[in-house]
Structure 1
Amino acid sequence: MSELYKKSSSSRVTLSQLMLPSHSNFSGKIHGGYLLSLMDQIAFASGSKFSGKYCVTASVDRVDFLNPIEVGELVTLKASVIFVGNSSMVVGIRVEAQNIQTGKVKHCNSSYFTMIAKDAAGNNARVPRLILTSKEEVLRFVKTTQRLKLRHSYAELCADFDGDMQQAIAQITADYQVQVQLA
């Protein structure tokens, strides 16, 4: 059986939604949790569209809220698969908000969701291979490989302490202004 290859463009999904007062937090800005929910939905849609399978969220790379979103703005989320593993896909998401009255658009957030394709029995399912068709897609793919290497390095760094409390205390007291007073 030959491998199935698909272009990133086959996974593109766009979602636009008007931000309502019910989506806001106490300061009148759109609640970050609501935005994360929309991002998870579009990541699912993009990954499922690409793989042809049900997908689950495995991880979310760094989420920085760059600009607040106001009630009454039109939020547009754009997503596409930018990297594939065996059963995993990294979906890149860009969030923009548009002031409907002025037409001004601002970039509010970019993030990367790792989605896992599942078969009908709930087991991990192989996903199509990726065809990169532009320099931008190649750069996104390479940047994702770098983020994955950093994630693995971070996991190894954290594993160094692996329950060694004395080593952990020595490290944090040397690097930060903190006192440790364990009961």
Structure 2
Amino acid sequence: PVLSAEEAKRLGVELVSFDELLTRADLISIHTPLVPSTKYLFNDAAFAKMKKNALLMNAARGGIVEEAALVRALESKKIRGAALDVFEKEPLAADHPLLKLDNVVLAPHLGASTDEAQERVGVQIAHQIVAYLKHGTIENGVNVPSLSGDAAQKLAPHLEVARRLGRLLAQLAGGAREIRVTAYGELA
């Protein structure tokens, strides 16, 4: 997870593995980008682990939920229901199997399409940029963990080393498809 144990404690949430989440949750609301590791994150195997009364909500990105697997899970009552406003291919075809189910709520993908939502997003981004420039605080980063100003200061020397190593690796490897970094110890 991108959330640190310290931040989770501050927010009063418990960090669990994905498999544990599937077996324990009554409602799963998806809030993750679509990247190779999240493509079809919710598939037949995931639905098989979920509670029979579980509800799934996806307003994040189409493709995180494998729609054919979701249809099978809903038809066989492996899960109780789902609500979606994002789909693998938008808009949904008129004959899409999800449209025939009564235990799913479907809405068109609206995202941040209202003027008010766009303004709020712009203001929020401006505040986040100011926080980063003033304090080094990173909020809602797509490819970096969120860091408080204190954590950013503490990690700054290590992040600089990581940045330089990344540049070196990019020159040496020339087009690596995936790089994994595992951190251990006090700063992890």
TM-score calculated relative to the size of structure 2: 0.24
Higher relative helix content: 2
Higher relative strand content: 1
Bigger RCO of structures 1 and 2 (CA < 8 A, at least 6 apart) = 1
